[in-house]
Amino acid sequence: MIILYLILPVAVLGLSILIASLHMIAPDHWTPILSYSISKKLKIRKTGFISFSLGLIHGIFSAILSFAIAIIGLYFFPELYLKIFAAALLIFVALYIIMNARHEEKVEKNTEIERSILLVSVIPDPAIVPIILIAVVYGMHFVYLTISIFVIASAVALLLVTIALSKVLIKKLATLTPKRIDYLVAAILLGTTIFVLL
């Protein structure tokens, strides 16, 4: 039990990085940036700056929303039910991501590209809420650390993916659809539910 208590913080931080990174690999994040970059004939440095900035803004807004949801959840749910609440939230977010993936599949590609660049910087993603609820066990300083790592990982992941795609990996990663990435993130969240309940 002590080993689990020591391993959990590392797992929480790793999971926050993994979710941030996988989310930014989704083509609906980098396609609009590369599209804009090619149309404006931007240099790689400018493209990198745009992708890092959008990833950072998206990460910050997601963290703010997730933190607010987590605090409300903690306020209304006794500590005894924290695991059940975190597990239920993981399942809810996973199902939301799956439903959203199915909806995005029906949207026309041109419309999706135009909307996505705005949505990346404005609409937050609450996928880190359950991770914050788990992190609370280790105190608020650890929650702030987890959130900070999530925000930085979001920005760095979008920067690296965009730069890599613009140079080398465009053919391989271009085959990944937003739907596939969303399903992968949902699967990870559902897998985490089992871990939380143990």
- 3-state secondary structure (DSSP) of residue 7: helix
pLDDT tens, 80-117? 566 676 677 668 777 877 777 776 666 544 444 444 44
Output the average pLDDT for the chain: 75
CA of residue 122 relative to chain centroid, distance:
14
Position with higher pLDDT, 66 vs 191: 66
- By percentage, how much of the chain surpasses pLDDT 70? 63
- pLDDT recorded at residue 16: 92
**Cβ-Cβ contacts under 8 Å for 164 (sequence gap 6 or more):** 173
Establish if 157 belongs to a structural domain. yes
- Total of domains in the chain: 1
Query: Which pTM does this prediction carry?
Result: 0.67
pLDDT of residue 28 exceeding 50: yes
pLDDT tens, 117-159? 434 454 567 778 888 888 888 889 999 999 999 999 999 999 9
Position with higher pLDDT, 19 vs 29: 19
Least confident of 24-38, 137-151, 164-178: 164-178
Establish if 72 belongs to a structural domain. yes
CA distance 104 to 88: 24
Establish if 68 belongs to a structural domain. yes
Establish if 117 belongs to a structural domain. yes
Establish if 56 belongs to a structural domain. yes
- pLDDT recorded at residue 145: 95
Cα 143–Cα 144–Cα 145 angle in degrees, nearest 5: 90
Least confident of 66-70, 75-79, 121-125, 170-174: 170-174
Inter-helix orientation angle 82-106/44-76, to 10°: 140
- DSSP string computed for 26-95: SHHHHHHHHHHHHHHT--HHHHHHHHHHHHHHHHHHHHHHHHHHHHHHHHHS-GGGHHHHHHHHHHHHHH
- pLDDT recorded at residue 134: 84
- pLDDT recorded at residue 104: 61
Establish if 9 belongs to a structural domain. no
Task: Give the number of other Cβ atoms within 10 Å of residue 193's Cβ.
Answer: 17
CA distance 85 to 79: 10
- DSSP string computed for 152-194: HHHHHHHHHHHHHIIIIIHHHHTT--HHHHHHHHHHHHHHHHH
What domain range is 145 assigned to? 17-197
Establish if 132 belongs to a structural domain. yes
CA distance 29 to 35: 11
